Amino acid sequence: MHLPDGLLPVGMAAAGYAGSAALLGLSLNRIARLPDPGAAMPRAAMLTAVFFAVSSIAVPVPPTTVHPMLVGLMGVLLGWFAVPAILVGLFLQAVLFGHGGLTTLGLNGLILASPALIAWVVWRALAPRAPTVAAVIAGSGAAALALALFVTLVLLGLPADVDGAAERAALGVFVFAHLPLVLAEGILVAVVLRVLARVEPGLLPDG
């Protein structure tokens, strides 16, 4: 679920770069305040590799194909590091495979990194009381928010005179095709966090 090159007006693409740069600047500033910013690099790079590899896999969900996003998992496990990690993953996908886009890198970064950060905040707030529920909400919520941002941007970028009924039908199919993914992302985050808590608690944030 990446915005491709050429779809949106160039002004929106430039605004996406500005928005992503601001988000990246904020996250780098917060990372620099950590006692040892380099300590989390292996985890961030490893999850970036997972994000890169997994989001290159298209899963057939008729009548279209979708791919896992893992933005909720990235947010919960990486916190502020999720922003540079997602941007690096998107950059690699764009320049190595033409997946996503070079001009839409900023917008795609916003679509995925903002939900990741929100998932992290939600998980931190809810996890002490109900860790499984928090994980499901973080995973599914992040995927749903990314989906909503994607649809909003596509609607803004499409020609103004698109037939309303056809537009609603196309968006209905798109959202319906992604609903299993939204649910799956929540379950995946809950299972991954539960296994990590039992086997390797050091990998959990603040673990």
110 binds other proteins (CB under 8 A): no
Q: Which stretch binds other proteins (CB under 8 A): 3-11, 122-130, 145-153, 171-179?
A: 3-11
4 binds other proteins (CB under 8 A): yes
Residues 6+ apart with CB under 8 A from 68: 54, 55, 57, 59, 181, 184, 185, 188
Q: How does DSSP classify residue 3?
A: P
Q: Which of 26, 130, 187, 207 binds other proteins (CB under 8 A)?
A: 187
Q: Which of 103, 108, 114, 140 binds other proteins (CB under 8 A)?
A: 103
The encoded tokens of residue 139 equal 């995973």
Q: Which of 26, 98, 125, 148 binds other proteins (CB under 8 A)?
A: 98
Q: Which of 1, 23, 74, 87 binds other proteins (CB under 8 A)?
A: 87
Q: How far is the CB of 130 from other proteins (least distance, A)?
A: 18
Amino acid at 83: V
Residues 6+ apart with CB under 8 A from 78: 40, 43, 44, 47, 85, 116, 120, 205
3-state SS of 57-95? CCEEECCEEECCCCHHHHHHHHHHHHHHHHHHHHHHHHH
173 binds other proteins (CB under 8 A): no
Name the site residues for other proteins (rule: CB under 8 A): 4-7, 10, 13-14, 24, 28, 31, 37-38, 41-50, 52-53, 59, 84-85, 87-89, 91-92, 94-99, 101-103, 158-159, 161-163, 166-167, 170, 180, 184, 187-192, 195-196, 199-200, 203
